[in-house]
Amino acid sequence: MNDMPQQPQRSRAAKWTRRGFIGAGVLAGGALVIGVGVRTGNPVGRLGPLVAGGEGEQLINSWLKIGADNIVTAIVPHCEMGQGVHSVLAQMLADELDADWSLVRVMQAPADGSYVVTDTIRTFVAPGTLDAPDWLEPTWNGLFTKIAQLADGLITGGSSSIRTTGQRTMRIAGAAARQMLIGAAAREWDVAAAEITTANSMLSHKPSGRSAPYSQFAAAAAEQDMPQTPQMKAPENYRLMGKDVPRIDIPDKVNGAASFGIDAVVPGQTLTYAAVRRVPVPGTRVAKMDAAQAKTMPGVLQILNMGDFLAVVADSYWQAQQALNAVTAEYTAPESTIRSSDDQFARFAAALDAAGDKGGEEVIGRGDVPTAMQAAAKTVSADYQVPYLAHAPLEPMNATVWARDGRCEIWTSTQVPLMARSAAAKALGLSKDDVTMHHPMLGGGFGRRLETDYVVMAARIGQATGYPVKMIWSREEDTQKGLFRCADMSRFTGGLDAQGRLTAYNNVFTQRNDPADACDCAFYDIPNKSIRVAEAELHLPFAAFRSVDHSQQAFFIESFIDEAAQAAGRDPLEFRLAMLGQSPRHKAVLEKAAAMAGWNAKPAAGHGRGIALTESFGTIVAEVVEVDMSSGKPRLTNVWCAADPGFAMNPDGFRNQMEGGIVFGLTAALYGEISLKDGAVEQSNFHDYKLMRMDECPAIAVEIINGDHVRLGGAGEPGLPPAAPALANAIFAATGKRIRALPLAKHFA
């Protein structure tokens, strides 16, 4: 309901997974394959007006255009949220194109459905098709483009951009465009294509002494069909890939020119601002509100009771938030009986107790665990738990909306612009073609901006007002009323033989999302293994968190492996190495991290070192953390990280992502906790949901091993999972105190 007039009182002219796709019906049955034929031609005629409207610009294929000034622009479908993806994807395209890096620019692909991340969807849903013969490639490409379009597949997540869109889409686009430009020049010059060379955005024919910039043949090249299986470079011929190429986005971020969702303006219009307050306990609704005082406050235009949230619209955000603070409300009774964090963990424990040694759903099974347990010379058991976590991106959740005349225009920072468009359209009763999305940079996401709830809220407010409105969540709103990394509990029992080898491994936990295999340490050679999930109710709504299930499972698994090493009386490093006989790349990474840390040298008095090994999103990472416990509280001194992503396309960028993931993971391990009281979140801002500060940050060293230049791994998330277990293991090494529940700092308060 609206408690104030509709019109303002002032004038204004103004888990991409195969499982998920099948569940959505996108891949159900084989009928879709029959209806998709081989895609021929080059869609530049259709896409050109959307992305190449500048004077003299020519779209060569879907992913790049060349200007009359010989500027090459890479059209990138993934969003830039600090991870450097725009630059590295352009770098990969430019290398295959033999472009002059100083003449390369980046354009965000429009979020109107014309662009989707075909190869990201394909990699996650059907990786077996990636090695298809050349003659079948156009059909597979057409099929998965259609699937991506049906699934609103314009998404940035899962540390997938470089290893999917980069390794296939952008490299193929660059190599194909190079081939097309050579073909056009060969016809014009009447020479053999094999005699033409390319370098620094120039075409050359040495026998005749002719040369020309790419721009001279761009229009003729665009008339050709795009080759879908062009010859791509071998690593020894890389000129940009594998190099520390400067990022394109950094200058504008330094000088303030970069535009984020919260910077949105509506051209020619005066913005209003909305502050919002969701219901405090999930599953409740607003029963009654008292807005009498708020109605009298300066600048207030409307006060809205939207049922699941309250909103105040005002001339400025400050006025809107102050008025919202004056609104009181009563709420319906919650359905859930979970009222506290103790209640939540009691539910988890009850589920694990009910599952016992064999119950729940077995997701990984190998060998004969019961027999191996009976034969074990020693057994070791442990329970671990992790709390809910907030994503806490530093750009507050926001969206700007102008809904009028049966259409809606949205400006927002999102990792899923097409999904956000569809969600807003559904909420407003519109066709998605009547919703226009503007897709600026993101000031952090960490999975939170994979959700569309805040965009829908803004769209509903925009529809209720009818004039341009920018909705901004307060930090308190984001901390208390967002979506969260789920809490979880995991129970282990292991069996050791007389030689101290881990021969039996029995694990059950309560929350399984994505990736589906995050619960398995498959690289360790453990002959008998049973891993099960016993599902238990979650009180708070879930959203993917940086590294998703690896953020919990790595702490569980690598803490238990350390405990098993202790029970076996063996060094934690040597215990792990002994189980890596079938995993040489993992062994090399673990040995590298240990060597970096000087593992065999005794640490200083009061110091301890812990180690952990994980694989996530195709990247193998080992970390050694050193902690100083001489004061009685953990003080981090050093982190040594070795990582094998297959091939680091931009080593400096990859190291940056490892460092960011490590700091993110250590912050969560030390401080991260969203706790419950009376069914609501207790924390409200950074004073009680603490982030690691600069003076607490350890020295971090990162070394890269390029183990496979074909199958690449991700960068944004894999640095996080080993951080928590390595730190907990370091605290044990220094103190003999084994901590099985995060956050760690809580144990030293």
More confident residue, 12 or 164: 164
Residue 342 buriedness (CB in 10 A; 0-12 / 13-18 / 19+)? exposed
Residue 23 has pLDDT above 70, yes or no: no
Over residues 187-205, the mean pLDDT reads 98
pTM of the complete model: 0.94
Q: In angstroms, rounded to a whole number, what is the distance separating the alpha carbons of residues 335 and 482?
A: 19
Q: In angstroms, rounded to a whole number, what is the distance separating the alpha carbons of residues 101 and 11?
A: 49
Residue 138 has pLDDT above 90, yes or no: no
What is the per-residue pLDDT across 82-112, written as a single tens digit (0 to 9) for each?
999 999 999 999 999 999 999 999 999 999 9
Residue 2 has pLDDT above 70, yes or no: no
572-577 contacts, C-beta under 8 A, 24 or more apart:
572/610, 572/611, 572/729, 573/599, 573/611, 575/500, 575/502, 576/524, 576/611, 576/613
Mean predicted lDDT score pLDDT of the chain? 93
Residue 38 has pLDDT above 60, yes or no: no
CA distances to 80, 124, 156, 175 from 119, in Å: 18, 9, 12, 16
* Phi–psi pair at 589, nearest 5 degrees: -65, -45
Residue 7 has pLDDT above 60, yes or no: no
Residue 572 has pLDDT above 60, yes or no: yes
Q: In angstroms, rounded to a whole number, what is the distance separating the alpha carbons of residues 563 and 558?
A: 9
Residue 1 has pLDDT above 70, yes or no: no
Over residues 295-318, the mean pLDDT reads 98
What is the per-residue pLDDT across 414-450, written as a single tens digit (0 to 9) for each?
999 999 999 999 999 999 999 999 999 999 999 999 9
Which pLDDT does position 132 carry in this prediction?
A: 86
CA distances to 217, 399, 523, 525 from 261, in Å: 38, 7, 41, 47
Over residues 532-548, the mean pLDDT reads 97
Residue 460 has pLDDT above 70, yes or no: yes
Residue 690 has pLDDT above 60, yes or no: yes
Distance of CA 90 to the CA centre of its chain: 19
All domains of the chain, ordered by start, with CATH?
A: 57-115+159-253 (3.30.365.10), 263-333+397-472 (3.30.365.10), 356-389+484-748 (3.30.365.10)
Over residues 239-245, the mean pLDDT reads 98
Burial letters 463-478, b for 16+ CB under 10 A, else e: bbbebbbbbbbbeebb
Which pLDDT does position 12 carry in this prediction?
A: 27
Which pLDDT does position 41 carry in this prediction?
A: 57
Over residues 160-182, the mean pLDDT reads 97
Residue pair 157/546 in contact by the 8 Å Cβ criterion: no
Residue 622 buriedness (CB in 10 A; 0-12 / 13-18 / 19+)? buried
Query: DSSP assignment, residue 161?
Result: I
